Amino acid sequence: MFALLARLILILIAISVLRSVVKMVSNFWAGLGNSSARPSASVGATGVPTALQQDPVCGTYVAVDASLKRIVNGKVLHFCSTECRDRFEA
């Protein structure tokens, strides 16, 4: 009885691992063949996508659309919260 239960558990584990591997390979091949299906993000000079900018106070990456912006010395700075913005201005 115990041997049967152990085999069933091993079979379930093997099926789970096999499904994970098949899904990873499928996602990999889908990404290679159809580049238009993925959103394209241009990468800035720092290697960070331009859609994200780093908060100069806490270092969090924040979406440009959702950030609090301040222009300092002609450069646009993006803050994740009012607390970070206020700490920067202090």
Q: Mean pLDDT per 10-residue run, the chain (90 residues)?
A: 91 94 84 53 56 89 88 91 89
Other CB atoms closer than 10 Å to residue 80's CB: what's the count?
Answer: 20
Q: Quick check: helix, strand or coil at residue 43?
A: strand
Phi, psi (deg, nearest 5) at residue 13:
-65, -45
Q: What is the pLDDT of residue 5?
A: 92
Q: What is the pLDDT of residue 48?
A: 57
The C-alpha atoms of residue 67 and residue 54 are separated, in whole angstroms, by: 10
Q: What is the pLDDT of residue 47?
A: 61
The C-alpha atoms of residue 40 and residue 33 are separated, in whole angstroms, by: 14
Sequence ranges of the domains in the chain:
1-38, 42-90
